[in-house]
Structure 1
């Protein structure tokens, strides 16, 4: 791993975000309310998070995934296609009769993941992640960081669906974003958007470790930020990194609000960054 995960910070972030999610769901009144900008309802957001927490808990423990997970794995030629197909299958079989039951289910699944992390697994250990594609593996640290990023982003979505004030915790986002970006972006290069592109970015999530992302001939790799010369430096708040990355916020909005800044010898490449990747 290029960015070293902080076990205590990740656990605190996951605990903090899941508590907020459970409280908001329990106080909600309409699980059928649509999430702005998505094809999911509030109830489907909760169902998705439950599936994520349960699958990641199994992965963190190193357990077999069992019939529920394996029977609902999706298909596709790219990681986004496999993820979308898996989500559709999982949401077809997970539902809740009301907010109280949804909150209880979310709490149970989140607690399972937290308990798995508390067993002290090696955060650098690789685990099979078939929901990202055949033979794809990710480290335990990456999976925990992904669970935090899912909680932050879908917490934002859920607030929109339930018409409550959005909550965005910079501590949680900054803890997860550099791990998620450094470990997942190389899997998500868009062949069309990156065609003919060669360049390097130093990604600086504020108050978090830095890393360098190199792209060449439709492939990307991450390396440590060790003072090497790069084409563009991207400075991002943790929340803007996740919201822009998951297409919840326009890049120009992040720039205008001070949440994103690009500089270096080719600063204009900052505007192209989001088009180089295809996210689920």
Structure 2
């Protein structure tokens, strides 16, 4: 799906995040990350299933925290950030290229310096969230493509989802037990999924037609409807869904970011499908791409 056309139009958020819950989640997750990084013996281990080391994941989070803090405040991006924006014709290509560049220009001498850098960037982001930003207001997001914008609330929720998922990645890279906080995940997952998944439809899903009501536990419901290779999010109750997917907040993010299979989430009790076509639930993860 190209990052042009409908992706430039910012509809009202289907699920507006709750500011205090997001801020508490970001503070909680970033402090856990900083502590885990600071006391790591090194940051050279690779996260299973990813090409990045723990150190590169920290660099990636630093870039996100810094760029999103500036964007939420309405400030111009640093020239260094602008210079390392990626290129591509689609949102997926833009994000993948930007991420690849970011981890090549930031490095740390050791875990302590990495932790200090991450703490500094997280504090800047927390301060931006304290500034009473209008979560409904659009913000430029050039890392998704020229002219693309997302709401401030979407960006705030993305910082939490990135912290949760990459905290999981970093823990696995360090060969330590991952931490997964359900309240943190649930505060961000509905906004992130409802606002971002429609931009990430897999071209192979062009022949699929169906709708999913997403019931993320301890969070508002919403519907994702797909037809002719496009997707849109709707408030729950606007249409009768074909499939109802119930997920824990953590499983929603891990399945959505392709860190965990839906089968595993179902087996662990973190997900189940109901509705008039419950078997469609197993297709849900394959309908969307990630950078």
Shorter-normalised TM-score: what interval? over 0.9
1:50 corresponds in structure 2 to: 62
**More displaced 10-residue stretch of structure 1: 179-188 or 26-35:** 26-35
CA distance in 2, matches of 1:249, 1:214: 23
CA distance in 2, matches of 1:78, 1:231: 29
**Structure-2 change in CA distance of 1:227 and 1:130 (3 Å):** closer
2:235 corresponds in structure 1 to: 224
**More displaced 10-residue stretch of structure 1: 75-84 or 142-151:** 75-84
Q: Please give the secondary structure, in 1, of the residue aligned with 2:206.
A: coil
Q: 1:19 aligns with which of 26, 31, 36?
A: 31
Per-residue deviation, 1:227 = 6.0
2:281 corresponds in structure 1 to: 270
CA distance in 2, matches of 1:4, 1:46: 28
CA distance in 1, matches of 2:89, 2:279: 32
1:261 corresponds in structure 2 to: 272
CA distance in 1, matches of 2:93, 2:262: 24
2:216 corresponds in structure 1 to: 205
Q: Please give the secondary structure, in 2, of the residue aligned with 1:92.
A: helix
Could you list the runs of 5+ residues in structure 1 that have no partner in the other structure? none
- Would you say 1:180 and 2:185 are equivalent positions? no
**TM-score, length-normalised on structure 2?**
0.94
CA distance in 1, matches of 2:16, 2:104: 36
CA distance in 2, matches of 1:246, 1:213: 16
1:98 corresponds in structure 2 to: 110
Q: Please give the secondary structure, in 1, of the residue aligned with 2:260.
A: coil
Alignment deviations for residues 124-162 of structure 1 (CA, whole Å, 9 cap, x no partner): 110000111111111111111100000000100111111
Q: Please give the secondary structure, in 1, of the residue aligned with 2:203.
A: coil
CA distance in 2, matches of 1:11, 1:141: 11
- Would you say 1:133 and 2:133 are equivalent positions? no
CA distance in 1, matches of 2:232, 2:239: 15
1:110 corresponds in structure 2 to: 122
**TM-score, length-normalised on structure 1?**
0.98
Q: Please give the secondary structure, in 2, of the residue aligned with 1:220.
A: strand
Q: Please give the secondary structure, in 1, of the residue aligned with 2:79.
A: helix
Q: Please give the secondary structure, in 2, of the residue aligned with 1:278.
A: coil
RMSD over aligned Cα, in angstroms? 0.8
CA distance in 2, matches of 1:45, 1:66: 20
**More displaced 10-residue stretch of structure 1: 144-153 or 78-87:** 78-87
